[in-house]
A and B are shown apart, each in its own frame.
Chain A
Amino acid sequence: MALEIIESCVNCWACVPLCPNKAIYEAAPHFLIDADKCTECVGEFADAQCVAICPIEGAILDELGVALNPPGSLTGIPPERWAAAQAEIAAR
Chain B
Amino acid sequence: MDLPVFENAAAKSGGCSTGSCGSTASQMDGMTDDIRARVQDHPCYSEDAHHYFARMHVAVAPACNIQCHYCNRKYDCANESRPGVVSELLTPAQAVKKTLAVAATIPQMTVLGIAGPGDPLANPERTFETFRELATKAPDIKLCVSTNGLSLPDHVEELAKHNIDHVTITINCVDPDVGAKIYPWIFWQNKRIHGREAAAILIERQQQGLEMLVAKGILVKVNSVLIPGVNDEHLKEVSKIVKAKGAFLHNVMPLIAEAEHGTFYGVMGQRSPNPEELKALQDACEGDMNMMRHCRQCRADAVGLLGEDRGDEFTMDKIDAMEIDYEAAMAVRAEFRAKATAELEAKRARAHAPKQPQAQVVQFMPRPQKPAQESALAGRQVLMAVAAKGGLVAVHFGHAKEFLIYEASATGVKFVGHRKADAYCGGEDTCGEGEISGESTLDRTIKALAGCEVVLCSKIGYEPWGNLEAAGIQPNGEHAMEPIEEAVAAVWNEMLAAGKLAAAPAANKVA
**Residues of A bordering B, CB below 8 Å:** 10-14, 17-18, 45-47, 49, 52-53, 55-56, 74-77, 81-82, 85, 88-89, 92
Contact of A52 among B118, B192, B433 (CB under 8 A): B192
- Find chain A residues with CB under 8 A from B67 CB: 55, 74-75
Q: A77-B268, A89-B260 are in contact. Are A52 and B64 (CB under 8 A)?
A: no
- Find chain A residues with CB under 8 A from B184 CB: 74-76
Looking at chain A's contact residues, is the secondary structure mostly helix, strand, loop, or mixed?
loop
B65 at the A interface (CB under 8 A): yes
| Chain B window 257-277, contacts with chain A (Cβ cutoff 8 Å), 1 for yes, 0 for no | 001100010111000000000
Closest residue of chain A to B186 (Cβ to Cβ) is A53
Q: Judge whether A56 and B73 touch: CB under 8 Å.
A: yes
What are 15 residue pairs bridging A and B, where the CB atoms are less than 8 Å apart in the complex? A13-B62, A14-B62, A14-B63, A14-B64, A14-B65, A18-B190, A46-B191, A47-B190, A52-B190, A55-B64, A56-B74, A75-B264, A76-B184, A77-B267, A92-B433
Closest residue of chain A to B435 (Cβ to Cβ) is A92
Q: Judge whether B65 and A49 touch: CB under 8 Å.
A: no
**9 additional A-B residue pairs with CB within 8 Å, beyond A12-B62, A14-B118, A52-B191:** A10-B73, A47-B192, A49-B190, A52-B187, A55-B64, A56-B74, A74-B67, A81-B267, A92-B434
Chain B contact patch, size range: 20 to 34
Smallest Cβ distance from B10 to chain A, in angstroms? 44
Q: Judge whether A85 and B267 touch: CB under 8 Å.
A: yes
Closest residue of chain A to B181 (Cβ to Cβ) is A76
Closest residue of chain B to A49 (Cβ to Cβ) is B190
* A12 to B37 Cα, complex, angstroms: 37
Residue of B67, B125, B267 with most chain A CB atoms under a 10 A cut-off: B267
* A46 to B190 Cα, complex, angstroms: 8
Closest residue of chain A to B63 (Cβ to Cβ) is A14
Q: Judge whether B259 and A85 touch: CB under 8 Å.
A: yes
- Find chain A residues with CB under 8 A from B123 CB: 13
Q: Judge whether A74 and B433 touch: CB under 8 Å.
A: no
Residue of B63, B191, B264, B266 with most chain A CB atoms under a 10 A cut-off: B63
Q: A12-B118, A14-B122 are in contact. Are A55 and B73 (CB under 8 A)?
A: yes
Per the 8 Å Cβ criterion, residues 67-120 of B in contact with A are 67, 69, 73-74, 89, 118
| Chain B window 185-211, contacts with chain A (Cβ cutoff 8 Å), 1 for yes, 0 for no | 101001110000000000000000000
* A46 to B433 Cα, complex, angstroms: 46
B436 at the A interface (CB under 8 A): yes
Closest residue of chain B to A89 (Cβ to Cβ) is B260
Q: Judge whether A74 and B185 touch: CB under 8 Å.
A: yes
Closest residue of chain B to A47 (Cβ to Cβ) is B191
- Find chain B residues with CB under 8 A from A10 CB: 73-74
Q: Judge whether A11 and B192 touch: CB under 8 Å.
A: no
Contact of B268 among A11, A14, A45, A81 (CB under 8 A): A81
Per the 8 Å Cβ criterion, residues 423-451 of B in contact with A are 433-434, 436
* A92 to B432 Cα, complex, angstroms: 10
Q: Judge whether A89 and B259 touch: CB under 8 Å.
A: yes
Q: Judge whether B264 and A12 touch: CB under 8 Å.
A: no
- Find chain B residues with CB under 8 A from A47 CB: 190-192
Smallest Cβ distance from A43 to chain B, in angstroms? 13
- Find chain A residues with CB under 8 A from B74 CB: 10, 56
Q: Judge whether B267 and A82 touch: CB under 8 Å.
A: yes
* A55 to B74 Cα, complex, angstroms: 9
Smallest Cβ distance from A69 to chain B, in angstroms? 9
* A14 to B184 Cα, complex, angstroms: 17
Q: A10-B73, A52-B191 are in contact. Are A76 and B264 (CB under 8 A)?
A: yes
- Top-9 shortest CB links A-B: A14-B63, A55-B73, A12-B62, A53-B187, A52-B192, A85-B267, A13-B63, A76-B184, A85-B259
Q: Judge whether A53 and B267 touch: CB under 8 Å.
A: no
Smallest Cβ distance from A46 to chain B, in angstroms? 7
- Find chain B residues with CB under 8 A from A75 CB: 67, 184, 264
Q: A14-B63, A82-B267 are in contact. Are A76 and B69 (CB under 8 A)?
A: yes
- Find chain A residues with CB under 8 A from B266 CB: 85
Contact of A11 among B62, B64, B69, B185 (CB under 8 A): B62
* A52 to B89 Cα, complex, angstroms: 23
Closest residue of chain B to A75 (Cβ to Cβ) is B264
* A10 to B72 Cα, complex, angstroms: 11
* A75 to B67 Cα, complex, angstroms: 8
- Find chain B residues with CB under 8 A from A77 CB: 264, 267-268
